[in-house]
Structure 1
Amino acid sequence: MKLAIVILNWNGQQLLETFLPSVVAYADGQDVYVIDNASTDTSVSFIETHYPTVKCIKLTHNIGYAGGYNEGLKQIDADVYCLLNSDIEVTENWLKPVIHTFEAEVNTAIIQPKILDYHHKNKFEYAGAGGGFIDQLGYPYCRGRIFNSLEEDRGQYNDQKEIFWASGACLFIRAQAFEVLEGFDPHFFAHMEEIDLCWRAQNKGMTVTYVGLSTVYHVGGASLKTSNPKKTFLNFRNSLYTLVKNTHQPLLLVVLLRLILDGIAGIRFLLQAKPKHVIAIVKAHGSFYKAVPYLLQFRRQHSNRKSHHQLPSIVWSYFVRNKNYFNKL
């Protein structure tokens, strides 16, 4: 099986200096690529000078995570793409369990490994942890991470399990599946486009799998910190995008409930003296309303929709019932 490890970069030379060595060391003979999103630093010259075996694909302008991978992957010949954030440290033999799973399970289109925190290596990392799920209203959560509560890794997720979404921090996908799905939705720009991709994959009968015998360590927030209102904007807007495009439930009711809960989240930000995040939610809703014609058109054109939730409300479970751990849900 021909696998390509593909890192998307934008002005990330410092991250490449730190994390590219482990990727090259543990590539197991597979090709490594960097798609450069029109960086203005010296990332490209650094790669060409210090890592001549790493192939660099240079884009003419920054088109985000979704657009960057969509364009860059057109230039890569492989059976499987590993989409890897530039702030991830990989481990020895991390590829073998993944390749074995793809070879053994022909319906598995997407795989996520175990994602632990680079700075606290005994804990799961926010972006993906032990595999992702969403609730009835489209709020994401993970095995090992619910909102900001992170579990310690005690081997409880050293399993292999079908999940709902795989983290874009380290996402393996068959090239054929990526082509059938027409890649990421570029309307997202960044954040949560992997949830949309995984949902669309399952609507077409494909399987998303977590492989806990493969481990990577993720810094997280290297592009946008949690404290950045732009991240709040993208997360709230893109979550609504994903829900409208893909949910099998009565659309008007689900969206109305989501908008109410988003309003409550805005009040919470206000009480925390974070007015910029309140404004970000308002802007997210405004951007969402503008995109409604496109979202509804997509929905009409794709009528097969998979039941997505195992839990009515992660918000209720976490904030009201105080359920902080996945096995308590």
Structure 2
Amino acid sequence: MIHIPVQILSNAVEFERYIEDCVLALRQQNGVGKQYKLTANIVAYEPVQAATIARVKALSSDHFMANVIIIDRNCGYGEKQNLIWREYTKKLVEPFDAFITMNPDMILMPDVLDKLYSTFISSAGRANIVEARQFPIENPPRAFDHETLEVNWCSGACILISAAFFERAKGFDEAIYLYCEDVDLSWRAWLDGGLCLYRHDAVVAHMTRGIFEARYNSHSVATHEFNMALSHLILTWKYFSANEGALASKMKLFWDNQWIARHTKEAALAQLEAIKPRIERFAQSHPRIDILDFGLYSDMRPNLI
């Protein structure tokens, strides 16, 4: 039986609102109990209700384990995911060759697990990341090759990752606090010699997007813009600073963008200067790695829906 761990990172609101439905959808994936065994490491980084924890744990079965883990760590998304990998997933006794990271507000259609894993296996070891498609709105609708399924980067909302690649890459870049850690991991997957694939027929409902929720989200727009600006600058420095002309071109895109306030950009640039010693720079490039505009890392296409 194929063992596939799943890493889910959740705040308190997400845990209470979505986690039971998310876990139920995982447990009901095609092949669980016959072909697949899942171990879900569900990590909450804020206090959550004991009753909800008990209900989630009660969803465990012989071939589906729901582990609820509480951590007290004030750090970025990537660092938290690395902690789950290092302290829990990697230490699982039963071997595995790939694992899933996903948001808690995801409801997988029954065939998603099998489609992601079968794509990983059929790539003959070349697929470092395989992404599912988000419904009703992709994040964002990136251009991809319908024949090869290759895409310029995979959104981390629901992805299957090669365990060997993740270990070689030393996980997510912990210098990135929030946003674009998936872009960065995808680009390092290309530089590692592997593929980033988009399984557009493996559909997951993203419950905080589009028709599912009228509100924007629970965090402030100002915080969102600062983190987006900083992450964008980190990618610019990591992948284009080895070429003076390329760096100048990408920084011009940053400053020319009209959607983010200049004082936010200046604050993000100051933070970049402070963390530069922590950032690994790449001298080599790859034709799929590019920044087309602020926050735009791939050609766009019309949404599938």
TM-score interval, smaller chain = 0.7 to 0.9
What RMSD over aligned residues (CA atoms) do the two structures have, in Å? 3.1
Task: For residue 183 of structure 2, give the secondary structure of its aligned residue in structure 1.
Answer: helix
Letter in 2 for 1:48: A
- CA deviation digits over 1:31-90, x for unaligned, max 9? 242442431232x65133343321123323243320111011121133211101011111
Q: 2:5: which partner in 1?
A: 4
Structure 2 CA distance for partners of 1:108 and 1:251, relative to 1, 3 Å? same
Please give the alpha-carbon distance, in whole angstroms, between the structure 1 residues aligned to 2:246 and 2:162. Answer: 32
Picking from 72, 82, 89, the partner of 1:70 is 82
TM-score of the aligned structures, taking structure 2 as reference length: 0.78
Q: 1:33: which partner in 2?
A: 40
Q: 1:253: which partner in 2?
A: 245
Structure 2 CA distance for partners of 1:35 and 1:253, relative to 1, 3 Å? farther
1:306 aligns with 2:293: no
**Mind listing any 5+ residue stretches in structure 2 that lack a counterpart?**
61-65
Task: For residue 189 of structure 1, give the secondary structure of its aligned residue in structure 2.
Answer: coil
Letter in 2 for 1:3: I
Please give the alpha-carbon distance, in whole angstroms, between the structure 1 residues aligned to 2:174 and 2:119. Answer: 29
The correspondence of residues 305-324 of structure 1 with structure 2, limited to 5 A, is 305-309=285-289, 313=292
Q: 1:49: which partner in 2?
A: 55
**Deviation >4 Å, runs of 4+:** 157-160, 220-227
Please give the alpha-carbon distance, in whole angstroms, between the structure 2 residues aligned to 1:324 and 1:203. Answer: 22
Task: For residue 167 of structure 1, give the secondary structure of its aligned residue in structure 2.
Answer: coil
Task: For residue 292 of structure 1, give the secondary structure of its aligned residue in structure 2.
Answer: helix
- CA deviation digits over 1:183-202, x for unaligned, max 9? 00111122100111111121
Q: 1:121: which partner in 2?
A: none
Q: 1:143: which partner in 2?
A: 143
Please give the alpha-carbon distance, in whole angstroms, between the structure 1 residues aligned to 2:73 and 2:220. Answer: 26
Please give the alpha-carbon distance, in whole angstroms, between the structure 2 residues aligned to 1:190 and 1:225. Answer: 15
Task: For residue 188 of structure 1, give the secondary structure of its aligned residue in structure 2.
Answer: coil
Letter in 2 for 1:258: K
Picking from 237, 256, 259, the partner of 1:264 is 256
TM-score of the aligned structures, taking structure 1 as reference length: 0.73
- CA deviation digits over 1:5-36, x for unaligned, max 9? 22111212212144333233227423242442
Structure 2 CA distance for partners of 1:86 and 1:159, relative to 1, 3 Å? farther
Q: 1:61: which partner in 2?
A: 73
Q: 2:63: which partner in 1?
A: none
**Alignment length (residue pairs):** 275
Please give the alpha-carbon distance, in whole angstroms, between the structure 2 residues aligned to 1:200 and 1:93. Answer: 28
Name the % identity.
Answer: 18
Aligned 8 A contact 1:10 1:62 in 2: no
Please give the alpha-carbon distance, in whole angstroms, between the structure 1 residues aligned to 2:11 and 2:28. Answer: 22
Aligned 8 A contact 1:160 1:212 in 2: no
The correspondence of residues 65-214 of structure 1 with structure 2, limited to 5 A, is 65-74=77-86, 75-76=88-89, 77=92, 78-105=96-123, 106-117=125-136, 124-125=137-138, 127-129=139-141, 142-143=142-143, 160-214=148-202
Letter in 1 for 2:103: N
Please give the alpha-carbon distance, in whole angstroms, between the structure 1 residues aligned to 2:236 and 2:300. Answer: 24
**Mind listing any 5+ residue stretches in structure 1 that lack a counterpart?**
118-123, 130-141, 145-156, 270-276, 318-322
Picking from 22, 26, 29, the partner of 1:23 is 26
Q: 1:150: which partner in 2?
A: none
Please give the alpha-carbon distance, in whole angstroms, between the structure 1 residues aligned to 2:239 and 2:120. Answer: 25
Task: For residue 61 of structure 1, give the secondary structure of its aligned residue in structure 2.
Answer: coil
Give the deviation of 1:208 after TM superposition.
0.9
Give the deviation of 1:158 after TM superposition.
6.8
Aligned 8 A contact 2:178 2:227 in 1: yes
Q: 1:273: which partner in 2?
A: none
Structure 2 CA distance for partners of 1:226 and 1:55, relative to 1, 3 Å? closer
- CA deviation digits over 1:194-235, x for unaligned, max 9? 111111121121111111221112134799568611111111
Structure 2 CA distance for partners of 1:185 and 1:14, relative to 1, 3 Å? same
Aligned 8 A contact 1:94 1:214 in 2: yes
